[in-house]
Amino acid sequence: MSTLDGEGGSATRRRPGRRPGSADTRGEILAAARRVFAEKGFDKATVRGIAREAKVDPALVHHYFDTKEGMFAAAMQLPITPDEIIPVLLDGPREEIGERLVRLILHVTAAPETREPLVALIRSAMTNEQAAGMFREFITNALLYQVADRLGVPHLRVEAGFAQMFGVIMGRYVLKLEPLASADHEELVELLGPTIQRYFTG
């Protein structure tokens, strides 16, 4: 995850004499992606359709973004992509997946610059039907079902785990419930890890 630190727009320094090229093209592709994802949802959006909207060749879109999932994460300024999160969950002993998942979510949401885009997306999904559809398709098809299917766990159990961590993050950072908001990571890993573990292997 930390590989993405500092890769926000502000990190793109403008040097004198630099040809205005790739940075703007990438930005235009992302703006087009946001429009297409909002209009069609995650499932029906295609790289080809986003290229058409951005008036560029699909090969150029592939040059910047390996996958539709990666493009969605970049367009929504999400701190991590499913391609990064899934291996972390799957890599390691199966009997420690609960602890690994809780640590990962707490780590990713601890820094404001990685948490805020995620909270912004969730806020949109909570108040806007179109944003909810886009978020739903992304979170299920690109993340939860992928993890569930690779581990052979029913989708419902993985969604129960998602619900637990979603509630914890909202309780900590949006509702700011105490003592949840101030609890340290170790205490939360001990409390929540067995819950997630049971959903995955119980």
Binding site for a copy of itself (CB under 8 A): 122-123, 125-127, 132, 135-136, 139-140, 144, 155-157, 159-160, 162-168, 170-171, 174-180, 183, 187, 191-192, 194-195, 198-199
Q: Residue 10: CB partners within 8 Å, gap ≥ 6?
A: none
Type of residue at 68: K
Q: In the complex, what is the shortest distance from the CB of residue 199 to a copy of itself, in angstroms, rounded to a whole number?
A: 8
Of residues 47 and 196, the one with the C-beta less far from a copy of itself: 196
Of residues 12 and 201, the one with the C-beta less far from a copy of itself: 201
Angle formed at CA 114 by CA 109 and CA 116, multiple of 5 degrees: 85
- Residue 57 in tokens: 């060749």
Q: In the complex, what is the shortest distance from the CB of residue 66 to a copy of itself, in angstroms, rounded to a whole number?
A: 26
Q: In the complex, what is the shortest distance from the CB of residue 162 to a copy of itself, in angstroms, rounded to a whole number?
A: 7
* Residue 59 vs residues 29, 65, 106, 123, 136: alpha-carbon distances, Å: 12, 10, 36, 33, 28
**Residue 149, Cα to own-chain centre: how many angstroms?**
18
Q: In the complex, what is the shortest distance from the CB of residue 72 to a copy of itself, in angstroms, rounded to a whole number?
A: 16
Of residues 114 and 140, the one with the C-beta less far from a copy of itself: 140
**Residue 117, Cα to own-chain centre: how many angstroms?**
9
Of residues 104 and 160, the one with the C-beta less far from a copy of itself: 160
Q: Assess contact for 61 and 96: CB atoms under 8 A.
A: no
Of residues 24 and 95, the one with the C-beta less far from a copy of itself: 95
